[in-house]
Amino acid sequence: MKESSTTAKTLSESLQDYLKIILDLITEKRVARIKEIAQRKGVSMPSAIEAVRKLADEGFVHYAAREFIELTPAGEKRAHRLANRHTFLTRFLTGVLQIEPALAAREACALEHHLSEMTLERMILLYQFLSYCPKKDQNLINNFRKCLAVSENGPIDDRDCAECFVRQKSPHFDPNEKRVHVLLIDMQVGQSGRVTMLGPDSEARRAIIQRGLLPGTNVRLESTDPLRSSLTIVLDEYRMQLPVAQARLIEIALDPQYSSPLIKTEDSSTQ
């Protein structure tokens, strides 16, 4: 499905930053005021007013003088996508490149405006490989090249590669995280967890990335439709409908309170 013309509009780097600031303020304080927006952006109030009016003209916020700023549905969707991209880049810089958090946050702000979709996708694949590939200490570069080949729907002739993107055995226990991993499609309503892996179907994976579902994104399953053709998930407080075909390609590390009973069940089944 194509995005609406409002959501697909190109925003300047500065207006993207304003959108994220508005989302952060609403998340933290439930309201966004011009004064606080200006303070976070480091600009004068007239500059903030002008930017917010531009966002209103583009259909991303509701704004009237001396009133709180609210995100429109299109603005909320764009702001969450930008925020999730920033979160992932910060996680990549700190977790993979070992950059200290304050600098990583600043670098993520610079990167997020300039990365192509292809570059972002390759960084996501590298993050997954370095975090979860069982052969990561052996021939690192060659194995990552193999990972890239598989990610582009190449032949999977290696068991480790076949199980690396989305595990064939689900659920499975990760001893490093002490969490049970399941496919999103297999989650129970009300369960929550963190996205760890995106499946090997490149077209579907890119569609998932476009929606802002990146490794590290926190997800809660809210409901399934009666025909099981789609799921409703919640990212923070943002609801999204997800086709079942995409839900089968997303691996989730369940939160600890949901992992413990499954670990006991797996242990007891092997006795």
| Whole-Å CA distances, 14 to 18, 83, 114, 119, 207 | 6, 14, 13, 21, 26
Residue 71 lies in a domain: yes
Overall number of domains in the chain:
3
Structure tokens at 84: 């999730």
Residue 95: which residues within 8 A CB-CB, separation 6 or more?
A: 127, 131
Beta-bridge partner residues of 158 = none
Residue 170 pLDDT: 76
Neighbour-count burial of 60, counting CB atoms closer than 10 A to its CB (0-12 exposed, 13-18 middle, 19+ buried): buried
Q: How far apart are the first and last CA of the chain?
A: 48
Task: Report pTM.
Answer: 0.70
Tens-place pLDDT, residues 102-124: 999 999 999 988 899 999 999 99
Q: Which positions of the chain have pLDDT values less than 50?
A: 1-4, 265-271
Residue 240 pLDDT: 93
Residue 167 lies in a domain: no
Residue 35 has what DSSP assignment? H
| Whole-Å CA distances, 161 to 124, 199, 257 | 16, 11, 29
Residue 268 pLDDT: 43
Cβ–Cβ under 8 Å, residues 239 and 233: yes
Residue 267 pLDDT: 46
Q: What is the CATH number of the domain that holds 260?
A: 2.30.30.90
Q: Write a three-state SS string for 61-118.
A: EECCCCCCEEECHHHHHHHHHHHHHHHHHHHHHHHCCCCCHHHHHHHHHHHHCCCCHH
Q: Give Cα 73 to chain centroid, integer Å.
A: 18
Neighbour-count burial of 75, counting CB atoms closer than 10 A to its CB (0-12 exposed, 13-18 middle, 19+ buried): buried
Residue 269 pLDDT: 44
Residue 1 pLDDT: 40
Q: Are residues 88 and 155 in the same domain?
A: yes
**Domain stops at, among 80, 95, 118:** 80
Tens-place pLDDT, residues 62-75: 998 878 999 999 99
**Domain stops at, among 62, 80, 98:** 80
Query: Residue 156 is part of which domain span?
Result: 81-160
Residue 160 pLDDT: 72
Rg, Å, the chain Cα set:
20
C-alpha 155/C-alpha 2 separation (Å) is: 30
Residue 165 lies in a domain: no
